[in-house]
Amino acid sequence: MKQIFVLGSFIVDLTCYTPHLPQKGETVLAGPFRIGAGGKGSNQAIAASRAGASVYFMSKIGADDFGDIARKTLLTENIDFRHIVEDTVNETGTALIMVDKNTGENMITVSLGTCNHITLAEVRNCEADIAGSQLFITQLETNIEATLEGLKIAREHHVKTMLDPAPIQDFMHSIYPDIDYFTPNETEASELSGIEVTDIKSAETAAGIFIARGVKNVIITLGKQGVVIKNNEVCEHMPAYKAGKVIDTTGAGDTFNGSFAVAIAEGKSFVEAVKFGCAAASIAVTKQGTASAMPKREKIEALLAGIWSKTA
């Protein structure tokens, strides 16, 4: 079993399912309402664990009821959380999520809480476990100093790195050469590249810009259109798999990232790892919820093998 280290956010999701997403100034009657574990870091850690990796997770939580949810969730998911730090001053992060019951599309706002107060010393305390991993994953849902320090430690120990640039923050362009796998969605790719990503061709153009900046491998996720991948050897569009009706797209990108990371850590090729991640995400969107919808490895392999209908 390969080891993956995730540095990122734990955030509690407060989710409402609506008949349609509200317009500016509109009040919409909604339901049902759910509270669950979330945050890009936690989501990607759970996806990686379910896909078959040994996962270490570093984050920061408050001394509150939402912090208790973090510990219970990570314990249930067999994730090593020895590097979770408790903050007695700031609250655990929270996300307010609205999901259109008809299309599965969502709108999300995030309050980072404690995740915005991770210190450099707290990240450095993780050095031995980062060094012992096959892949280091991080996002931009913590204070940027923590993200940069984690990437620095990983590179010092020649550990492959993956950055999900969400939610977009200002960060130094000099870190692009430190990123082995870069996984923006179309919105993030548009803002960071300066190219409006609306289709496969524009996604390929944006991916080329990131390669020119020093990123080794780029994956731009395009929702139901699948993904566009690019490095110095391949530029390819890969469609999403059909696993059933799309119910909820929340966390699909995190499912892709965590599952893709496992495949890379296990030595699969770039293309094969992307297929593995696409299959996982395609399953996740057929269920309500974020972490709760993420598939275990046998489900992913069943879809890839073409026997999904017998296991769903």
Which amino acid, one-letter code, is at 274? Answer: V
State the Cα–Cα distance between residues 312 and 303, nearest whole angstrom: 9
| Alpha-carbon span 260 to 238, nearest angstrom | 14
Handedness of CA 185, 4, 170, 152 (dihedral sign): negative
Q: Active-site residue 180, yes or no?
A: no
Active-site positions read 254
